Structure 1
Amino acid sequence: MTLSVAPHTSSDLRIPMVNGACETAEKSPTGRIFNIQRFSLNDGQGIRTMVFFKGCPHRCPWCANPESMSPRIQTIKRQAKCLNCRTCLQDPQECPSGALEYVGEDITLPALMSRLLKDEVFFRSSGGGITLSGGEVLMQPVFARELLKELQGLGIHTAIETAGDVPRDHLLSVVEHCDQVLFDFKIMEATLARTLLNMNQPRVLENFQALTQRDVELLPRVPLIPGYTLTQENLRQILDFLKPFNLNEIHLLPFHKYGEAKYPLLGKTYSMHKTLVPDAVALAPLRAMAESDGYTVTMGG
């Protein structure tokens, strides 16, 4: 199937990020998301609904959500479904076959709350809640904070997934309304992190240290990616960094290729195509290393 990115002529492409949120022509603040995933069991306690925010400062080659990287609303085209009728004129709303679709939407807080609360019975019965992910949710701190504040006010458990590479005040303002932070550690060596991922690793570590002074549950996670983070040396550096904070649990996230099919859809090349998914033999030493440091280890989140 041949897939391509179609040009997007909507003014949404020119909406700037204002104070961590999007701003429409009417100046009303909104959040920009690209997916709401229900009945998740791997991103916090209980049954959860995930809200995926658009935009990410990093360029991880293994990213399973490449549609999250750009902060802009994109239009994608599924060439195999195209009727070549030219009826749509590159507007997904006019496409009769569904070959064109938008990736991303601007949504107000009341509208998003209305969607999320449809799952409230599952949160209440399972001890679950809402997890904000991305992309990097902290690129939209104002909207994220207000959303989490509303949810906490209703007694709903709140969590975010983050790599922590944002200004300190963005992080702390959002965490004020979080019950749990799922914090990803990737490449520890600062130069490699900057070169390969566009990540400011010293800021990441400083921000994590700041979180340890806050009343929030911290859960470190480590993606295990061949050629990048799947080394005993890298995990040893992470564990040594975490040691003073006396945390009990860590999640190790083995590499997978679930997002591979999205890359050609977005006009991108998936550079991990030939990378083998690590087997149990390759993962066992890293799990044993974390367990020997006293952690309860969950593989896969």
Structure 2
Amino acid sequence: MTLSAAPRISYEVMEPRADTARIFNIQRYSLNDGQGIRTVVFFKGCPHRCPWCANPESLSPKIETVRRESKCLRCVRCRQDADECPSGAWENIGRDVTLEQLERDVLKDDIFFRASGGGVTLSGGEVLMQAEFATQFLQRLRQLGIRTAIETAGDASFSRLLPLASACDEVLFDLKIMDAERAREVLNINQLRVLENFRQLLAAGIKVIPRLPLIPGFTLNDENVTQILAFLAPLAVQEIHLLPFHQYGEPKYHQLSKVWQMAGVTTPTEQDIAPLREKIEQAGYRVVMGG
């Protein structure tokens, strides 16, 4: 598969005020983003360009407008305005929230957190793009006794990452393409910094769970998994989450008039994954499918 180099996008593209963040979704009753029943808050904006990203609406830090054909009433005079559309065919993706607004919203699920040992997970996009807000938000939740987590690629200065990670009960940390040159070219990720941040979080006593996206043509191969296991070998890690590639995000690309670079790529089967899973388990790790 031939891909053009990823555009260089920095975390400075978007740095809103510490008391305001831009999100694009709140997903309730999730079982795959940390322990127990979770409410997942998706932050808008990402400096990376993973070809397999299932949330293309998360990439731009800007509020975007999309049109959903199935809801369109064919109005005689369409203003293409989400605020005026009578059927909801035109929809804004992204909204700005304050700490207080977001806290009220997630606390609607408090009973499920406490009954299941769950909590709140911040995802994206890349939550590190809005790290100051996210840190304050998680600190408020922990004061209320709610468990917290983030999902991140870990590619930022450690001074930005550490305060946010310290406000978490666990950090779900993606390890993608291990080859540093290819990670930079394909994903716009500084893999050397990612790995050093992973080490430093563990050294700081923070619970870090590595997650391995299993992507055909990129990470679903013995060489990449071998490199990940070699990196983890001297570290205090007991559990690894495997995230098999899927095609669920494809319709969103069409709605946003974006190109889905993974069109035609087959979702890996259990047989495809089995040799790598066995290799990881033989190395002494507990494997969780889907995180």
* Cα distance in 2 for residues equivalent to 1:20 and 1:294: 41
Partner of 1:118: 108
Distance 1:159 1:87 in 2: 46
Give the alignment of 1:122-161 within 5 angstroms.
122-161=112-151
Deviation at 1:82, TM superposition (A): 2.9
CA distance in 1, matches of 2:237, 2:118: 22
1:204 and 1:298, CA in 2 relative to 1: closer, same or farther beyond 3 A? same
Confirm whether residue 275 of structure 1 aligns to residue 269 of structure 2: no
Paired amino acid for 1:223: P
Q: CA deviation at 1:87?
A: 5.0
Contact 1:149/1:177 (8 A) holds in 2: yes
1:109 matches 2:109: no
- Code of the residue aligned with 1:60 in structure 2: it is C
CA contact (8 A) 2:21 2:133 kept: yes
Query: Does the aligned pair in 1 maintain the 2:202–2:236 contact within 8 Å?
Result: no
Q: Structure 1 residue 250 and structure 2 residue 244: aligned?
A: no
Give the letter aligned to residue 249 of structure 1.
Answer: E
| SS state at 1:226 partner | coil
Q: Which amino acid aligns with 1:263?
A: Y
1:291 match = 281
Deviations 1:149-187 (CA, angstroms, capped at 9, x unpaired): 000001100000000011211101111211100000000
Aligned partner of 2:66 among 54, 68, 76: 76
Secondary structure class of the residue paired with 1:49: strand
TM-score between both structures, scaled by the size of structure 2: 0.93
For the 8 Å contact 1:47–1:126, the answer to whether it is kept is yes
Deviation at residue 88 of structure 1 after TM alignment: 5.2
Where 1:70 maps in the other structure, the secondary structure is coil
Confirm or deny: 8 A CA contact 2:14 2:61 kept in the other structure.
no
Query: Counterpart of 2:271 in structure 1: which amino acid?
Result: V
Give the letter aligned to residue 96 of structure 2. D
- Structure 1 residue 221 displacement after superposition: 0.5
Partner of 2:5: none
* C-alpha contact 1:81 1:99 (8 A) present in aligned 2: yes
Aligned positions of 1:152-301 closer than 5 A: 152-301=142-291
| C-alpha RMSD of the superposition | 1.6
Describe how 1:40-51 pairs up with structure 2 within 5 A. 40-51=30-41
Which residue is 1:59 aligned to? 49
- Asked whether the equivalents of residues 22 and 106 of structure 1 are also in contact (C-alpha less than 8 Å), the reply is no
1:1-56 deviation per Cα after TM superposition (whole angstroms, max 9, x unaligned): xxxxxxxxxxxxxxxx9897424xxxx83111000000001110011100000011
Residues 86 and 197 (structure 1 numbering): CA distance in 2 closer, same or farther, change over 3 Å?
Answer: farther
Counterpart Cα distance in 1 of 2:15 and 2:118: 26
Tell me if the contact between 2:150 and 2:168 (Cα under 8 Å) persists in the aligned partners. Answer: yes
8 Å CA contact retained: 1:161, 1:182: yes
Structure 1: tracts of 5 or more residues without a match: 1-16
Single out whichever of 81-90 and 125-134 deviates more from structure 2. 81-90
Q: In the alignment, what sits opposite 1:22?
A: 16
Structure 2 distance, partners of 1:296, 1:107, is 38
Q: Percent identity at matched positions?
A: 59
CA distance in structure 2 between the aligned counterparts of 1:294 and 1:66, rounded to whole angstroms:
35
Task: Check whether the contact 2:22–2:97 (CA below 8 A) recurs between aligned residues.
Answer: yes
Q: 1:208 to 1:105 in 2, by over 3 A?
A: same
Q: Which amino acid aligns with 2:215?
A: I
- Structure 2 gaps of 5+ residues are 1-10
How far apart, CA to CA, are the structure 2 residues paired with 1:121 and 1:297?
A: 29
**How many Å apart are 1:298 and its aligned residue?**
1.1
Displacement of 1:78 after TM fit?
1.8
3-state SS of the aligned residue for 2:272?
helix
Kept in 2: contact 1:164–1:207 (CA 8 A) = yes
